[in-house]
Amino acid sequence: MFCLVYTSVANTDIGLQEIQRMLEKAQEFNRQNDITGCLLFFKGRFIQYIEGDETKIISLFERIKKDDRHTEVRLLSGNKIHNREFKDWQMAFEHLKSENSNLQYLKLLVSTFFENPENSLSPNPTSIEFWKATNLLLTTKYADKNA
C-alpha cells in the first residue's frame, strides 16, 4: 500500500458547492477502488492525503494533477505504508475556516506550513503524525455532532 500527499491552489472561481459535488464523485470512485484519505481546504488551498494500492494511487494522482479546478499541484510525500490512516473515510473533507474552534490546532499547523514549509511547526502535512492528528480531530468533531 501507498500514501501520497500534495498541496495545490484552488481556482478562484471554485466555490464550496462545486467542491462538494466534486467530492461526491471522488468518494464514489474511491469506494470502488478501495482508496481512502482526507482533503483539507484552507484559504484557497488544498492539501490532500490519499492511500491505497500503489498503482491506483499513482494513476489517480496523475488525473488529479490535470484537473483544471486547481493549479500548482505540488507533491509533498509518497510512502509505502502497512496500515491505513483513514480506513473509515472514502475521502474526509474539512474546510478549515475561522469558526470551527476545535480545529484551531490543525489550522495553526497548516498555516505555519504554508507560510514557511522548511521551518513550520511539527507535525506538518508531510508527516504521518499530522494525518493521525487530523483523523482524531475530525472523528471527535463528528462524534460530538452526532451526540
Ligand X SMILES: Cc1cc2nc3c(=O)[nH]c(=O)nc-3n(C[C@H](O)[C@H](O)[C@H](O)COP(=O)(O)O)c2cc1C
Minimum CB–partner distance for residue 133 and ligand X (Å): 20
* Part of the chain binding ligand X (CB under 6 A), chosen from 25-33, 79-87, 105-113, 122-130: 25-33
Alpha-carbon distances, residue 65 vs 6, 28, 87 (angstroms): 10, 19, 24
Buried b (16+ CB within 10 A) or exposed e, 60-91: bbeebeeeeebeebeebeeeeeeebbbeebbb
Residue window 38-77: x/- pattern of binding to ligand X, with contact defined by CB under 6 A: -x------x-x-x---------x--xx--x-xx-------
Instruction: Note whether 51 and 85 are within 8 A (CB).
Output: yes
Burial class (CB in 10 A: 0-12, 13-18, 19+), 119: exposed
Question: x/- site string to ligand X, residues 70 to 109, per CB under 6 A?
Answer: x--------------------x------------------
- Examine residue 129 and tell whether it contacts ligand X (CB under 6 A): no
The site for ligand X (CB under 6 A) is made up of 22, 26, 29-30, 39, 46, 48, 50, 60, 63-64, 67, 69-70, 91
